[in-house]
Chain A
Amino acid sequence: MIPSRWKEAFRKTAQGFKRSLPILLGVFMLLSLASTLIPKNLYSKIFTGNQIIDPLIGALVGSIAGGNPLTSYIIGGELRLQGIGMLPITAFIVAWVTVGVIQLPAEALMLGKRFALMRNAISFVAAVIIAILTVLILGWT
């Protein structure tokens, strides 16, 4: 016989999951679509060489793309080999893992619209600032 405390905890957890499942499924579908539609070599074509605009482009692309951090390191490494500066690459890597445009609707539904919008907007700005600080402290360009 399962104690009622266990049953109650299971029921609460299952209810929470049931609420979240359609959102998670929607996010999986959007991520699969983005992964299929965005070719990997697209990233290297969008940087201009401008030290002010490129970090913003890096953060913007990182925010939209998202996914496994490992993929961002691989793309970042490839971009570096192609001569792209570390400023946009860092902004790209940081935004990739901290900002999520694709999962924004899911975040807004589960954690609140205002919270999700503010968190992502602040994380976007922070990605650019962190990139500038990291490159400055390391003396890289």
Chain B
Amino acid sequence: MNSAKCPAWLSLVLLIMFCIATDTQREYQTIRTPNHSSRLISEIQSGETSKVLLLFIIDFNDFMCMSCLDSFLSFCRSIPSRSLEKNAWGVCVLADIDKKPEKKDSGRIAEKKLRGFIAANSIPFPVIIDHSRVFQSFAADGTAIVIIDVERKRIARYNFPIGNADARKIGELFRNN
């Protein structure tokens, strides 16, 4: 049974069951900046690579939302894997920063969960954790796709879940790149 085809009440019930099962913790700390995020930032700033960039801005809280995950995976699978390898980056944003001492490992716990999810779903592009909070504002409305054009002048943003028309538009863009 695909949750997208469920009656609305059942989707709600499944979502609540998911939260019960996973015992959602919504506070994550910002931790140190790794080197590869600076590689992404330089790729965004320079047009030397002559390619459209597709950024998946992933709000880690959406890892607690089953339909968000399904939507994310469906969209990934609608784009040719080669294009994703070449053009895409994932940026995981850890919102709701909590300074409590007992939450000191939350950032590392988030990293580990992400690692399992990426491996299990064969995500073909690099995913980094936004330790330096550069991308936090992009995730203000939850998980989103950000498209940056070749000249690095125009940015388009699409919030999840992505509608069919937008998905087609984005898909076309990457089939031509």
A binds B: no
